[in-house]
């Protein structure tokens, strides 16, 4: 009997309550172990976390199945990750690159969508299936890029500001595309009036928070924190605000992770060094589950035919090239080198692409093999991006984190 088929490990996928500590141990332990191995090989540690999920998941050793518990842990992980990134970003800096970010996001949506649709149509797939694949190639998973940029200390670099702003815009556009495509999959067709209202609410929410949130939080949060007798009152207020913003974002038609990012950005001006430390600690606990969850959802069982493999490779190549070129062209005013960084930073699809694929599968709009191709594309773009970004940002000096100003309460 070997370690890999030990009876204890056979219970990991059973979902029983008493296996919870063992599941957490395997997922967290492997993610950290392979992150350490990646860093020793001079690769971003994030790659190790992603690969860990593939190793222990159905496509590897089969120890862990992706279920509701790990999904919830992953959602918390990515929310804390984006909140932590938001704490390092000033709203004024993000608004300053708004025009470049808007152009970059728009081109980064149009080109992948057209390419995905065209490749699927050329391969003889039905129209709705082709459109869903195009939609899965649209939205960027900013969590992966943000993790790389934060670990390199370059969040203050202008390209990082463009990437973060473009990712927020990209999310709104991506959700709009998904809403249209989902409506087309139904017999009644698209509800254009409803889509218009959702889009307007989403835009108003993001702009209002970016413009007025910091000023409001600068007045309210310090007073509230000082009036509380709780231990770690600032952390309690900050995390409550994180979940509140994530909830409001979701109800506004924007992804919850965008709300988490905006919550951090709103608090960036007043957050103490101690809050940064506590949030970083929470992220170190939760983020490995988010990274491993992406690898866990990779299922190689669908790649049993040469045509499916060829389609997967074509979609992957198109997903990387069109996003890189589209977003890069939108940022070409920054110069070729910085435009290339922006394009590469927008390549990961991560959980966003998989959500679109899951919606299509549930609606009966795409087949299981096509779903597998979409998930393969989402996972592989996420794995490929960190080492590329690591190379492109080599030599870029890490910027110091701005010290939060003191707030007078008179």
Contact 184, 128 (CB under 8 A): yes
Is residue 24 domain-resident? yes
Residue 320's domain is classified under what CATH number? 1.20.1530.20
> CA–CA distance from 39 to each of 32, 42, 56, 84, 399 (Å)?
11, 5, 20, 21, 21
Percent of the chain topping pLDDT 90: 5
Checking if the pLDDT of 17 tops 60, the result is no
Domain count for the chain, please give it: 1
Cβ(82)–Cβ(164) below 8 Å: no
**pLDDT cut 70: percent of the chain above it:** 79
Q: If we measure between CA atoms, which residue out of 45, 4, 6 comes closest to residue 387?
A: 45
Grade residue 407 by pLDDT with cuts at 50, 70 and 90: very low
Q: Decide if 47 is inside a domain.
A: yes
Report the pLDDT averaged over residues 290-303: 76
Examine residue 408 and state whether it is found in any structural domain, yes or no. Answer: no
> DSSP characters for 375-407?
HHHHHHHHHHHHHHHHHHTTTPPPPPPPPPPP-
Helix (H, G, I), strand (E, B) or coil at 199: helix
What's residue 84's pLDDT? 82
Q: Provide the residue range defining the domain that includes 182.
A: 18-392
pTM of the entire structure? 0.67
Give the C-alpha distances (Å, rounded to integers) separating 409 from 19, 220, 319: 50, 10, 51
Confidence of residue 111 (pLDDT cuts 50, 70, 90): very high
> Is residue 190 domain-resident?
yes
> Is the residue at 403 inside a domain?
no
At residue 285 the predicted structure's pLDDT band, cuts being 50, 70 and 90, is confident
In a domain, 4, yes or no: no
Distances (CA, A) of 404 to 67, 94, 311: 40, 17, 50
pLDDT digits (tens, 9 = 90+) for 369-400: 888 888 788 878 877 888 888 888 887 776 65
Residue 317: predicted pLDDT? 93
Contact 144, 82 (CB under 8 A): no
Return d(Cα 147, Cα 227) in angstroms, integer: 34
Sign of the C-alpha dihedral, residues 43, 279, 92, 262? positive
User: Is the pLDDT score of 306 beyond 70?
Assistant: yes
- Interatomic CA distance for residues 24 and 191, integer angstroms: 43
Residue 66 belongs to some domain of the structure: yes
- Residue 90, judged by CB atoms within 10 A of its CB (0-12, 13-18, 19+), counts as middle
User: Has residue 294 been placed in a domain?
Assistant: yes
Instruction: Mark out the alpha helices in 87-191 (DSSP H runs).
Output: 91-96, 98-122, 127-136, 142-152, 158-185
Q: What are the tens digits of pLDDT across the range 34-59?
A: 888 887 877 767 778 878 888 888 87
Contact predicate 285/343, CB 8 Å? no
pLDDT for position 85: 74
């Amino acid at each position: 009997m070997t370690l890999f088929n030990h009876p204890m490990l056979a219970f990991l996928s059973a979902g029983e309550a008493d296996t919870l500590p063992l599941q957490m141990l395997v997922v967290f332990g492997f993610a950290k172990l392979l992150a350490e191995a990646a860093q020793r090989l001079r690769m971003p540690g994030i790659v190790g976390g992603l690969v860990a999920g593939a190793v222990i998941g159905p496509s590897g050793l089969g120890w862990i199945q992706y279920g509701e518990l790990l999904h919830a842990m992953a959602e918390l992980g990515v929310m804390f990750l984006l909140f932590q990134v938001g704490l390092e970003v000033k709203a004024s800096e993000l608004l300053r690159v708004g025009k470049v970010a808007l152009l970059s996001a728009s081109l980064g949506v149009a080109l992948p969508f057209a390419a995905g649709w065209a490749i699927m149509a050329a391969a003889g797939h039905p129209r709705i299936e082709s459109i869903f694949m195009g939609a899965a190639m649209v939205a960027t998973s900013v969590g992966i890029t943000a993790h790389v940029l934060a670990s390199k200390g370059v969040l203050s670099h202008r390209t990082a500001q463009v990437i973060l702003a473009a990712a927020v815009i990209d999310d709104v556009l991506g959700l709009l595309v998904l809403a249209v495509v989902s409506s087309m999959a139904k017999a009644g067709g698209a509800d254009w009036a409803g889509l218009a209202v959702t889009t307007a609410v989403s835009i108003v929410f993001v702009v209002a928070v970016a413009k007025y949130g910091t000023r409001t939080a600068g007045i309210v949060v310090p007073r509230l924190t000082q009036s509380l007798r709780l231990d770690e009152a600032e952390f309690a207020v900050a995390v409550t605000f994180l979940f509140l913003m994530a909830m409001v974002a979701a109800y506004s038609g924007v992804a919850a992770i965008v709300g988490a990012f905006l919550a951090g950005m709103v608090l960036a001006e007043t957050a103490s060094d101690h809050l940064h430390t506590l949030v970083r600690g929470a992220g170190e606990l939760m983020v490995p589950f988010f990274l491993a969850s992406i690898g866990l959802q990779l299922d190689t069982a669908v790649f049993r035919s040469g045509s499916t493999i060829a389609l997967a490779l074509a979609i992957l190549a198109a997903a990387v090239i069109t996003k890189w070129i589209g977003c890069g062209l939108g940022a070409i005013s920054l110069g070729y080198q910085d435009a290339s960084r922006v394009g590469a930073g927008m390549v990961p699809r991560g959980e966003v692409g998989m959500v679109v694929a899951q919606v299509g599968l549930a609606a009966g709009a795409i087949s299981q093999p096509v779903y597998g191709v979409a998930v393969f594309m989402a996972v592989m773009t996420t794995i490929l991006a960190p080492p590329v970004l690591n190379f492109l940002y080599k030599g870029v000096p890490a910027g110091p984190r701005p010290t939060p100003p003191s707030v007078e309460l008179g």
